Amino acid sequence: MKPVTLRCPAKLNLFLEIHGKRPDGYHELSTVMVPVGIYDTLTLTPAKKFTLEVDGPPLPGTNTVEKAYKAVAAQRKIPGVRARLVKGVPAGSGMGGGSSDAAAMIEGLDRLFDLGLDRHAIAATIGSDVNFFLERGAALCTGRGEKVAPIAQGPELHAVVLWPGFSLSTAAVYGRVRQFLTPTPRPVIDFLNSYGREGPGGLHQVLFNRLELAAFALHPELDALRRRLGEMLPHGARMTGSGSALYGLCSSRAEAVRLAKRVRSEFAGFVAPAGLLGREVSWKSRKSGSS
């Protein structure tokens, strides 16, 4: 059986509003997420038992790749696998690296052993964002984030992404958001009307993330970083997900590459230019030829 290699892209939240806390402890939200061209890479080789080798800093918190393996193994009798994960997405950054890895694990096992899995049902048991990564394109996500409605890709967009070198706990940021909720949540429709039509300048006007206020209350220095990054980029900067990564939109790959270089000279941490990915883009791993 040949090994399978999958690319696990990061994501940016271009819009995130919270509608309230649910009885199960999660928050009801509407968010627009877009995959971006910053990747982890997961290679799976059939083996006697499950092992995971990580090339990069040790994974914080729950290991979503192992969690995904166990969730699949609980449903089907499968052999072990040797999993090798090359980290390119900073962990604890709000860029969904762990969720993307889990989605790739589910897809990889399904393909490797031809299981015919209900991938979405398994994904929802692992984390709120895992379902999004199974769809491979921009989407409006609702519920606790696990209900995914694909949306059409707009004009080509690029971003400069900055992860300032420290992580935020998703649970801690959500835990602080209550005081920032409003009785009339911002409707996502204004964003959706602009997405796909506007260039980066127009789109920046409708970018929104309710979790920013909670994250900045916990870490005021992150807001200062966002302001400074916003001054260096043409249209300002926002935070993705529960942070701590920040991003700003650019019109072209060349502009994003040029500005990322400038940002890197001023900021510590991880800085990268990243294209927003559409469904039409091939996500195939260049090395193995499999996606």
Segment lying near ligand C5P (by CB under 6 A), choices 1-9, 111-119, 125-133, 181-189: 125-133
For the CB of residue 114, give the shortest distance to ligand C5P in the complex, in Å.
29
290: which 2 tokens? 């499999």
Q: Which amino acid is at 35?
A: P
127 lines the binding site for ligand C5P (CB under 6 A): yes
176 lines the binding site for ligand C5P (CB under 6 A): no
Residues 246, 240: Cα–Cα separation, whole Å: 6
For the CB of residue 146, give the shortest distance to ligand C5P in the complex, in Å.
8
Q: Which amino acid is at 249?
A: L
26 lines the binding site for ligand C5P (CB under 6 A): yes
Residues 144, 206: Cα–Cα separation, whole Å: 22
Q: Which of 128, 131, 194, 240 binds ligand C5P (CB under 6 A)?
A: 128
Closest CA to 273 of 291, 251, 241: 251
Among the listed residues 40, 70, 129, 261, the single catalytic one is 129
92-131 burial code (b ≥16 CB/10 A, e <16): bbbbbbbbbbbbbbbbbbbebbebebebbebbbebbbbbb
Q: 3-state class of 86 per DSSP?
A: strand
Q: 3-state class of 35 per DSSP?
A: strand
Q: Which of 121, 149, 152, 171 binds ligand C5P (CB under 6 A)?
A: 171
Q: Which of 7, 27, 119, 204 binds ligand C5P (CB under 6 A)?
A: 27
Q: Residue 127 or residue 275: which is nearer to ligand C5P going by CB?
A: 127
Quick check: is 114 catalytic?
no
How many residues sit in the footprint of ligand C5P (CB under 6 A)? Answer: 11
- For residues 69 and 81, is the Cβ–Cβ distance under 8 A? yes
31 lines the binding site for ligand C5P (CB under 6 A): no
DSSP H stretches of helix in the chain: 64-75, 97-113, 119-124, 130-135, 170-175, 189-194, 200-206, 211-218, 220-232, 253-266
83 lines the binding site for ligand C5P (CB under 6 A): no
Q: Which of 15, 163, 174, 247 binds ligand C5P (CB under 6 A)?
A: 174
Q: Residue 24 or residue 114: which is nearer to ligand C5P going by CB?
A: 24
Q: Residue 5 or residue 128: which is nearer to ligand C5P going by CB?
A: 128
Q: Residue 113 or residue 174: which is nearer to ligand C5P going by CB?
A: 174
Quick check: is 87 catalytic?
no
For the CB of residue 144, give the shortest distance to ligand C5P in the complex, in Å.
4
End-to-end CA distance of the chain: 16
144 lines the binding site for ligand C5P (CB under 6 A): yes
Q: Residue 176 or residue 228: which is nearer to ligand C5P going by CB?
A: 176
DSSP of 255-270, one letter per residue? HHHHHHHHHHHH--SE
Count of helix runs (H) and strand runs (E) in the chain: 10, 11
216 lines the binding site for ligand C5P (CB under 6 A): no
Residues that bind ligand C5P (CB under 6 A): 26-27, 29, 127-129, 144-145, 170-171, 174
Please list the active-site residues.
11, 129
